[in-house]
Amino acid sequence: MRLFGTDGVRGVANQDLTPELALSLGRAAARVLGGGERARILVGRDTRLSGPMLESALAAGLMSAGAEVILAGVLPTAGVAYLTEGHGFSAGVMISASHNPVADNGIKFFAADGHKLPDAVEDAVEEEMRCARPDPVGEGVGTRLSDTALREEYLAHLTELVGTPYGGGVVLDAAHGAATAVLPFAFSPAARRVAVLCAEPDGKRINVGCGSTAPDYLRTHFRAFGGTVGLAFDGDADRLIAVDEEGEVCDGDVILALLATWLKTRGELLPAAVALTVMSNGGVRDFLAGEGIRCVETRVGDRYVIEAMRGQNILLGGEQSGHIIYRPASTTGDGLATGLLLLSALAETGVRLADFRRRIPHYPQRLKSVRVADREAALGSPRYAETLAAAEAGLAGVGRVLVRPSGTEPVVRVMVEATREEIADRWLEELCEALLQKV
């Protein structure tokens, strides 16, 4: 089974993702990513309790292969990517499980250009882990240095994105994660009033009932803190979900559409195209088409969105989940950069986020994660195959179905979109039941 998933190596910390595995991964990565030279590798992490443990093990592996390791401390994922490219590091590493539960953690790598590693390079790292090679000794052993001042450079980069300050109040939900290190400083020049919730860097509460995966917390509290709109981030701050003036949630589709139309009006969306995934609602595709903006569809995962963007020179792309990539600002999903651009768009156009949301058709879309013992067996069962064929026939012309195994969890995600809620509900229920049948 392949070690790397859709977003690095991820699992339950100290059970699946052990210090021993992190050590081995670090040693192999230093050899592959160093390109035969002494590698210089930047390492950042979120606030999870297991972060320092895995950071120590990973750094030990990197140094045992002769790498120079720079520890940036708690930093958003996009900050690691930005600094890796800007400082000419051989690679960057982020220790985070993003939006996943507290017990999970992950290790993902960025190449020297700040982009996620191609599959072939990840495969080379895995192959290197199976090779027994002599490690350097004496002066060949690597070194380690902590440099938390690097986050100031990332912060300065973010503040350069601030355009016209937003005239209302913005309330930010930091999810007790990596955003806590920079969030108040980045947004203070971007809005007239700024308040931050879940701002303690608490690894026991990261993503727990807060952040982009639980926007109801922000919906409930943002008005009490003087907010006109709210912005919720996830554990490593690469996602953004917004709450509009009426307390309604605006997902990545709405944010992407607003930024796309704003940039097109400014003459900065060249070509007039965006990249989005198969999960994006059909309504946003229809809306963008009506605005003269072409949609390029990709697999789920921001790495695939970025690949399409780079391949077709597209400047803007994103996922319904809130990963938004604006290439002039970042090489990967950056929730903070997205939030700053969103506030600038609202301030410059004068549009209310709630009014813009209502302009976008939203087709009923149902999504459920089905936990299964064996993903391949569940997807290969005759009962499921029959139900899927019936669903596709029943939805022809009125909707679509998308079923995919998670790349990071033992679940199968089922999405049904239809013109009517009862149709979507029916086929979602039948598909989920079929997946749970014993095989």
Q: Which residues are catalytic?
A: 98
For residue 247, with 0-12 CB atoms within 10 Å meaning exposed, 13-18 middle and 19 or more buried, which class applies? middle
Which residues are within 8 A (CB) of 41 and not within 5 positions of it... i.e. 6 or more apart?
Answer: 29, 30, 33, 62, 67, 68, 69, 70, 89, 90, 91, 92, 93
Phi, psi of 411 (to 5 degrees): -135, 160
Q: Which residues of 121-139 are buried (b: 16+ CB within 10 A; e: fewer)?
A: bbebbbebbeeeeeeeeee
Q: Strands (DSSP E) along 114-183, which ranges? A: 143-146, 166-173
Pair of tokens at residue 75 = 């930093």
Neighbours of 376 (CB within 10 A): 10
Please state the length of the chain: 439
- Among candidates 98, 119, 100, 166, which has minimal Cα distance to 341? 166
Instruction: Give CA angle at 361 (342, 275), nearest 5°.
Output: 55
Phi, psi at 404, each rounded to 5°: -150, 140
- d(C-alpha 104, C-alpha 197), whole Å: 23
Distance CA 38, CA 179 (A): 31
Contact residues for 142 (Cβ-Cβ < 8 A; gap 6+)? 30, 38, 62, 63, 64, 65, 66, 67, 68, 69, 136
Distance (Å, rounded) from C-alpha 32 to C-alpha 133?
A: 13
350: left (phi over 0), alpha (psi -120 to 50) or beta: left
Q: Cα–Cα distance between 304 and 332 in angstroms, integer?
A: 11
Pairing outcome for strands 191-197 and 104-111: unpaired
Instruction: Provide CB contacts within 8 A for 100, sequence distance 6+.
Output: 10, 106, 207, 235, 408, 409
